[in-house]
Structure 1
Amino acid sequence: MQTRAGPHAQGFILIMVLAMLVVLALLASSIALISERVRDEQVDRQRQFQDALDMASTHATVGYLLTSQRMTFAGLTIDDQIVRTADEEYLRDDEFSRFSLAPVGNEIRLDGTVYQGIGRVAFALQDDRGLIGVNWGWPPWLDRVFEHAGVAASERNTLPNLLLDYQDIDDLYRLNSAERDAYVREGRPPPSNRTLATPLELRRVMGWGEALSSFDDLAIMDTFTVARSPSINVNTAPARVLRTLTGVDEAAAQRIIAVRSVAALMDISVLGQILGTMPPESEMLFLYPSDSGVLKLWSADGGTVRVLHWTITPIDDGSQPWHLRQPWHIDYEFTLAQSKHADQAVARPTQAAIFAESVPAP
């Protein structure tokens, strides 16, 4: 005798079927979400690996150009083109025919201009001579940096002595200054008793860390240098540095930048024409870059910035044996957060063929 399920049993079966369908749908959705997340993580890892490869390639390419190409008033050349002034052409001979300081027109600028590197990597080069030397710089320039940052004159007046007592080897106090015992009382690391090794060491100097409170780390690196440079290169100095020159305000600094972006200054008298008068410290101003500077590298995704200080060393002094006989070396390196105060400049392409497409990561 065949029995037929009642309506309650049929309803229960229907509920069970629907429940199973819901479970299967949730399971399928979870699997899809997990698969998508795994795929996205794989894509991110691949992109990060590709960016790291492109950053290393850009670093090596810039290093190759720094050690194989000459510099002009406008920056780093990218090929063997030469433009000579009339005087250079008159004095030309076989021995010096490859040397000229006159701009070619396709140089990589050394004033922090942002360039497109390999792949999605951007880079910028900054000449040390375009920054203010904290170890050997002219005191009025240092004072004006903090004046423009809104630091009170009473605080600014103490900064030079605080820096000198941080650097000298004795424990004798200068006026309104601090030595080892004062640092210990405040729980600070003691003074190094030597010249600063990096610009970021300024944060350790009593009084200077407070004066630099409005500067992020990149802003410090974009303003100061520890290189033996008591001068300023007008062709490579950023606006913040140009504004430390006597009689130069923000508008005048932007005029200098606008003029040199069209044609690098080749005679310091041009500065007087731009400003209407020559700064009294004109004898300390340069137009040609030094043999050291800063290289910044970062990905198009933003995030951190790799900052390296380089020095060209055709004859290495042996200070770093692992760089012996290398034409350049890295003095120090940081990984810093993007500057909060700087606008993201659009990276311009270089005219160097060596910056080709990136090599795909394996």
Structure 2
Amino acid sequence: SDVILKGLLAAIGVDAETQDVIADSLLDWRDPDDLHRLNGAENDYYHSLDRPYDCKNGNLDSTEELLLVRGVTREIFYGNGEKPGLRDYVTVFSDSDRININTAAREVLLSLPGMDEDTADAVIEYRKNKQIKNSAELQDALGGLYAGISGYVTFSAGNTYRVIARRKGKAFGIEATIQINGNDFTIRKWKETVKQIEKKHEES
């Protein structure tokens, strides 16, 4: 939802104005019409760019497609040395629009309505001892925030996982998105990465 998206953008340090632009523009990117929302964008915006392209008017096929959406910069998508990027927390392969309260990263927990840092940390601490399996346990973990958050979360694991493997001390790594169906699995995405290593040269 746009509520969760704005919350996630806020959690990774994106300002409120840009949050509104990205949220509205993503809705416009996915809907079938040519009418843009208050802070959104349709073909009239994308055709005015130095390198014009069409507004898709359809669902995303990959997370990288977000880079085409108005407002999403490379820094917002990939992050930088100090802050994580949007790509670390979103997927196009999930069948659910709810957040798994048992596995969500701190930034994802902070995207929930009304969630503050202390409560997010309390949830993380709570689930170290046991998984949250039902509404009663969720209410125990969230306290007064339960009513506003319960509609956005789930207790059960999905069937889509992002796996990151990097050898210690090596720049090379692999990122894979895997979908599990019973005893079978499907690799939905495979990416080999090379971490950029800066070399410092001493002046002679």
Q: Which residue of 2 aligns with 1:28?
A: none
CA deviations on 1:44-64 (whole Å, 9 max, x unpaired) are xxxxxxxxxxxxxxxxxxxxx
Counterpart of 1:63 in structure 2 is none
Alignment of 1:35-46 (within 5 A): none
* C-alpha displacement of 1:299: 1.0
Q: What is the DSSP-based 3-state SS (H/G/I as helix, E as strand, rest coil) of the residue aligned with 2:86?
A: helix
Secondary structure in structure 2 of the residue aligned to 1:206 = coil
State the TM-score, normalized to the length of structure 1: 0.47
1:241 paired to 2:108: yes
1:205-234 deviations in Å (ceiling 9; x for gaps): 111227826725974333112223211111
Q: Which among 48, 55, 59 is matched to residue 191 of structure 1?
A: 55
Q: Is the 8 A contact 1:146 1:211 kept in 2?
A: no
Structure-to-structure mapping, 1:1-362, within 5 angstroms: 138-186=1-49, 187-209=51-73, 212=76, 215=79, 219-226=85-92, 227-277=94-144, 278-314=146-182, 327-336=184-193
Distance of 2:53 and 2:194 partners within structure 1: 24
CA contact (8 A) 2:10 2:111 kept: no
The alpha-carbon deviation at position 338 of structure 1 amounts to 5.3
Q: Please, what TM-score do these two structures have when normalized by structure 2?
A: 0.78
Instruction: Give the SS at the match of 1:200.
Output: helix
Structure-1 separation of matches of 2:157 and 2:52: 37
8 Å CA contact 1:247, 1:279 repeated in 2: no
Q: Percent identity between the aligned chains?
A: 25
Structure 1 gaps, min length 5: 1-137, 315-325, 340-362
Unaligned stretches of 5+ residues in structure 2: 197-204
Q: Number of aligned pairs?
A: 191
Instruction: Output the amino acid matched with 2:185.
Output: W
Taking only aligned residues, the RMSD between alpha carbons, in angstroms, comes to: 2.8
8 A Cα contact 2:99 2:152, kept in partner: yes
* Shift in alpha-carbon separation, 1:292–1:210, aligned structure 2, 3 A: closer
> CA 1:275/1:168 → structure 2, altered by over 3 Å: closer, same or farther?
closer
Q: Whose Rg is larger?
A: 1
Cα distance in 1, alignment partners of residues 195 and 24 from structure 2:
32
Going from structure 1 to structure 2, the CA distance change for 1:155 and 1:271 (only over 3 Å counts) comes to same
Q: Highest relative contact order (Cα 8 Å, sep 6+), 1 or 2? A: 1
